[in-house]
Amino acid sequence: MSAEILIIDDNPDIRIILNELIQEAGYKTRLAANYNQALSEIDKKLPEVAIIDVKLDKGDNDGIELLNHIKKKNKDIPVIIISGHANIEMAVNSLKSGAFEFIQKPFDKERLMNFVNRAVENYNLKNENKNLQSKLFHSYNLIGKSQNITSIRDQIEKLSLSDSRIFISGPTGTGKELIARKIYKKSKRSKGPFIIINGALLDIKKYEEELFGEERTDGSISYGALEKATGGILLIDEVSEIPLETQSKILRVVIDQKFKRINGNHDIKVDVRIICSSSKDIKSEIKEGNFREDLYHRLNVFNINIDPLNKRIEDIPPLVEYFSEKICELYKIKNFQISDNNYLLNYSWPGNVRELRNLVERVAILSPGNDSNKILEIVKESLTKNKDENFSVTDTLSVPLREARETFEREYLISQLKKNAGNISKTARFVGMERSALYRKLKLLGVKDLN
């Protein structure tokens, strides 16, 4: 399908020239003559590429405002900024705001079309990569042998049979969306839609429109996520980010299973199963007054909590093996192994499973030929250890020997405990200590049970 280019310029002659030029190249076009028309066209349907004049009818930099508006909706859409009043500062500012290219009027037609062709190619490449990642993500299984993951798999089997609301808790990157998708695929609603709305990414002014839809003055209707999800499942990701006023309206929907669109007069009945997730401590958010306790209790009929990766370290080797197989299959490259797991097991994984998957993909792409030394080099470079959580010789140069030795022992034993999933007996055997002696040493060093 041919790419669609949105042309925004208040000069009719420029619009005609651009329209003819771009259509001759085989692209579709849409035109807007002023700021409000442009805003309407953008909100109606995002283009693959936009060409925007800096100065329209609203102000000196209303083109930059439109650029920002597009980027909020989809940061991957290339925007070419044009201006008849250009200066270096304006060009720099537009590029800082995310413009793909900046070109001054009167522009060279060949140069402009070169920008347009590259912009379309850029968008298509990013879109293909997204589709590739989506295909990979949707085929994932919930991998791990930890008690936490084993318990979650059991919960998925049981909760898929019901229509109860579910609240999934866990840090960013642990796999909350994956859990929701697994429940959806196994449920009786698997033939219906699976709709995701992310509370952290929504424009604060458009929460209710995104959820409930809107009946516009021109008679058109914007359908919200609740209607789109009817007959299926709605995942409200990062639900704790939704404003309190909107939370009260969600509560009414949960209780009544109906709502009104914005500017609407009639109740819309919905048949939707709601799953919510949050990476924040929701009980702390309730105490601080950021989240309604009554809504939480309505949403939290069943709770699934997924631990951070550094608390289920035994899941790392099977995850690495699984991701390497999946990624190599996807990219059609030779399979590989990360033979030395010590770096992986001792790393804190602030980005959790998502960070681990990204590392495996980086290794797959950068180490063709399964060179173990090259693979280890990539792993070492990639895992930049958090200074506050990991022992470093340079951190001990200004302290007495006894304190430095205690610091080393504490960090060493914590690393070994993590490596052995908190198992005291295994750790004691590995470090060459009696189990009781290790208990005493850990207590002396102030190391708490890692289970």
34 in Cβ contact with 56 (< 8 Å): yes
User: What is the b/e burial string over 276-303, where b = at least 16 CB atoms within 10 angstroms of the residue's CB?
Assistant: bbbbbebeebbeeebbbeebbebbeeee
Residues 369, 411 within the same domain: no
Residues 239, 255 within the same domain: yes
Q: Provide the domain count of the chain.
A: 4
pLDDT value, residue 96: 79
Residues 156, 294 within the same domain: yes
Residue type, 170: G
Strand-pairing partners, residue 420, are none
Residues 128, 65 within the same domain: yes
Q: Does the residue 343 lie in any domain? A: no
Q: Is 312 helix (H, G, I), strand (E, B) or coil?
A: coil
Q: Does the residue 224 lie in any domain? A: yes
Q: Does the residue 142 lie in any domain? A: no
As given in the structure block, the two tokens for residue 321 are 């093996």
Q: Does the residue 189 lie in any domain? A: yes
CA distance 144 to 344: 15
Choosing from 89, 114, 135, the residue where a domain stops is: 135
Q: What is the pTM of this model?
A: 0.59
Q: Does the residue 109 lie in any domain? A: yes
Q: Does the residue 83 lie in any domain? A: yes
Q: Does the residue 111 lie in any domain? A: yes
User: What is the b/e burial string over 337-356, where b = at least 16 CB atoms within 10 angstroms of the residue's CB?
Assistant: ebeeeeebbbbbbebbbebb
139: nearest Cα among 410, 362, 323:
323
CA-derived radius of gyration, the chain = 27
As given in the structure block, the two tokens for residue 324 are 């390497």
In DSSP notation, 215-226 reads E-TTS-EE--HH
Residues 192, 237 within the same domain: yes
CATH code of the domain in which 27 resides: 3.40.50.2300
Q: Could you tell me the residue range of the domain that residue 66 belongs to?
A: 4-135
Residue type, 368: P
Residues 112, 235 within the same domain: no
Number of H helices, E strands in the chain: 19, 14
Residues 17, 108 within the same domain: yes
Choosing from 90, 111, 135, the residue where a domain stops is: 135
Residues 436, 319 within the same domain: no
Give the pLDDT of the chain (451 residues) as one tens digit per residue. 478 999 999 899 999 999 999 999 999 999 999 999 998 898 888 899 999 998 888 766 678 889 988 888 888 899 999 987 766 677 777 887 888 988 888 888 898 999 999 999 888 877 776 655 555 555 578 999 999 999 999 999 999 999 999 999 999 999 999 999 999 999 999 988 999 998 877 776 778 888 998 887 877 787 889 998 989 999 999 999 898 989 999 999 999 889 999 999 889 998 999 999 999 999 999 999 999 999 999 999 999 999 999 999 999 999 999 998 888 887 777 777 787 677 888 888 988 998 898 888 888 877 766 677 778 788 887 776 433 344 444 344 444 556 666 667 777 787 778 777 778 888 888 878 888 878 778 877 777 655 5
Residues 370, 233 within the same domain: no
Q: Does the residue 173 lie in any domain? A: yes
pLDDT value, residue 343: 80
66 in Cβ contact with 35 (< 8 Å): yes
> Can you state the percent helix, strand and coil of the chain, rounding each to 5?
50, 15, 35
The dihedrals phi and psi of 83, each to the nearest 5 degrees, come to: -155, 145
Residues 436, 323 within the same domain: no
Residues 235, 267 within the same domain: yes
Query: What's the residue count for the chain?
Result: 451
Residues 122, 245 within the same domain: no
pLDDT value, residue 388: 38
CATH code of the domain in which 400 resides: 1.10.10
